[in-house]
Amino acid sequence: MHEGYMKRCLELAVLGAGKTSPNPMVGAVIVRDDEIIGEGYTSPYGGPHAEVNAVRSVIDKYGEDRARELFEQSTIYVSLEPCAHFGKTPPCADLIVDMGFKKAVIACLDPFAKVNGMGLQKLQDAGIETEVGVLEEEAKWLNRRFFTKLKEFRPYVILKWAETSDGYFAPLDGQRWISNNASKQLVHKWRSEEDAILVGKRTAQLDNPSLTVREWIGRNPKRILIDKNLELPENLAIFNDDAETIIFNAKKTDWKGNRKYIELENFDLYLPQQILYQLYLMDIQSIIVEGGKKTLDLFIAAGLWDEARIFIGADSWGEGIKAPEIEGELVEGTMVGNDRLMIIRR
């Protein structure tokens, strides 16, 4: 029974995808006598957390006096340990105590130093019955970006590319599209869910991508560009006003409109590590590396990736630039139209 309600928490949490960063995605469900009487998920960054929205949903329906009576006989399910500190909002653990809940069921503890175990302790000190670990692995996977940033001091890195059925990434010259329109739309959805998207100089030059969300409803990610000597012309789509663009280079640090130039000393030394550390300092929680081949191989060689999303098209070319090679655990394999999508975890 606990798992069913926690599964609902995870379903709610996903509704915050692309909006809560750098906060985690969290869902909360309030249950009395085996009936859900309230639920909520974390608002966009700076807004109320999941627990607050769940409590409000009950108060709005029943009025505060009746809601407090119901809470005394209710269990609140939360997909991540309630916060115990003042940030943009007051501590959710204090709210649960104040509202007099009978029990709290938590999927996993929060690794953030100001919370880790402290939210749980507040509930237990107040005499609220607690249970931790229901669908714990599923909850950790949902917030893998948040956990990676806190534990590894870098954004969560998603590699993405398309290859032919015989393993080619690009033609020897010119351009050829590999994946289908449904896959393209899915990529735009992914962009709306992550904080940033990165390409190298050659991809920006040859493909002239805007790296925005056009075939999905959502916010544009920050665009990250590697251009060591600042050789790219300013009329490229990646420099338009649709989103912020961060340019890692060896020439200058400057801010010009929506463009942020960041000079890296010893540019060619530990380049992926330098980039990820700078993005971490900017509170960027996740990044999609879209290419090209040289850029993808840089991150693969450094072991700095967490997940790879690979489209395998139906066409066979017989020649071309070979696709990157990685080893990991196949998390998901599915068809997107006539493309095969593989999601691999490092």
Residues with a catalytic annotation lie at: 51
Spatial contact of 64 and 45, defined as CB atoms under 8 Å apart: no
Considering all CA atoms of the chain, what is the largest pairwise distance in Å, rounded to the nearest integer? 72
Give the dihedral sign, CA 161/21/28/97.
Answer: positive
Spatial contact of 16 and 53, defined as CB atoms under 8 Å apart: no
With tokens 């809560």, the residue in question is 20
Cβ-based neighbour number of residue 176 at 10 Å:
12
Secondary element (H or E) of residue 118: helix 118-125
Report the C-alpha gap between 112 and 30 in whole angstroms.
24
Residue 101 token pair: 């809940």
Q: Each residue of 250-272: b (16+ CB within 10 Å) or e?
A: eeeeeeeeebbbbebeebeeebb
Give the dihedral sign, CA 234/286/308/326.
Answer: positive
* Residue in 313, 326, 288 with CA at minimum distance from that of residue 176: 313
* Residue in 112, 113, 105 with CA at minimum distance from that of residue 131: 105
Spatial contact of 314 and 165, defined as CB atoms under 8 Å apart: yes
With a CB cutoff of 8 Å and minimum separation 6, the contacts of 134 are 2, 3, 6, 77, 105, 106, 107
* Residue in 48, 47, 50, 46 with CA at minimum distance from that of residue 15: 50
Residue 204 token pair: 């920006």
